[in-house]
């Protein structure tokens, strides 16, 4: 299973500049694009604000196609306000588990970390967290991503103990 975390790029700026009604329109456009980009077996939910999460019941190789369809579709859909196109884009982070019963907290942490890197590396892209840092599989996927021209980057990362959320 692969978990995809999505964040609408610069959504707060869109709300501040154009108002919440336009921000709501941007959210509706994203939902429409997601509906056409995802398959019946994929599950999409809204975490809150401009953040969404999806579960795709297959390994990373298939999930990247979902992420790219959604990224490209949302960028192309656009939102028009008073004849002015708002350049709304989306970034995402992907994490896969090959376990029968995946550790959801670990998947969320890895996908969120990959999403954060996608935002920091220029937005309007997705980054895939690999389960085994430095693995042959991760290096091969990285080269395939460059050759394919998709706006993605593979990142290998193993969560550290201090990455866990504080409780108290």
Question: Catalytic positions, please?
Answer: 50
Helices marked H in 98-161 — which ranges? 104-120, 136-148
Grouping H, G, I as helix, E, B as strand and the rest as coil, residue 29 is helix
112 exposed, middle or buried (CB, 10 Å; 0-12, 13-18, 19+)? buried
Distance CA(62)–CA(113), nearest Å, equals: 20
Taking each helix axis as running N to C, give the angle between helix 136-148 and helix 60-77, from 0 to 180 degrees, rounded to the nearest 10: 30
The residues, ordered by sequence, that sit 6+ positions from 5 with a Cβ below 8 Å of its Cβ are 47, 51, 52, 53, 92, 93, 94, 108, 111, 112, 114, 115
């Amino acid at each position: 299973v692969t978990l995809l975390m999505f964040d609408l790029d610069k959504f707060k700026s869109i709300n501040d500049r154009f108002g919440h009604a336009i921000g709501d329109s941007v959210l509706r456009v994203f939902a429409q694009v997601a509906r056409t980009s995802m398959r019946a077996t994929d599950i999409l939910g809204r975490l809150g604000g401009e953040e969404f999460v999806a579960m795709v019941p297959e390994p990373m190789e298939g999930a990247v196609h979902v992420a790219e369809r959604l990224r490209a579709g949302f960028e192309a859909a656009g939102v028009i306000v008073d004849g002015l196109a708002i350049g709304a884009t989306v970034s995402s982070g992907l994490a896969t588990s090959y376990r029968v019963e995946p550790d959801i907290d670990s998947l969320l942490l890895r996908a969120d970390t990959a999403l954060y890197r996608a935002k920091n590396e220029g937005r309007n892209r997705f980054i895939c967290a690999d389960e085994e840092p430095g693995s042959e599989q991760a290096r091969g996927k990285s080269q395939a991503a460059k050759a394919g021209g998709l706006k993605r980057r593979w990142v290998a990362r193993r969560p550290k103990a201090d990455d866990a959320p504080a409780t108290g």
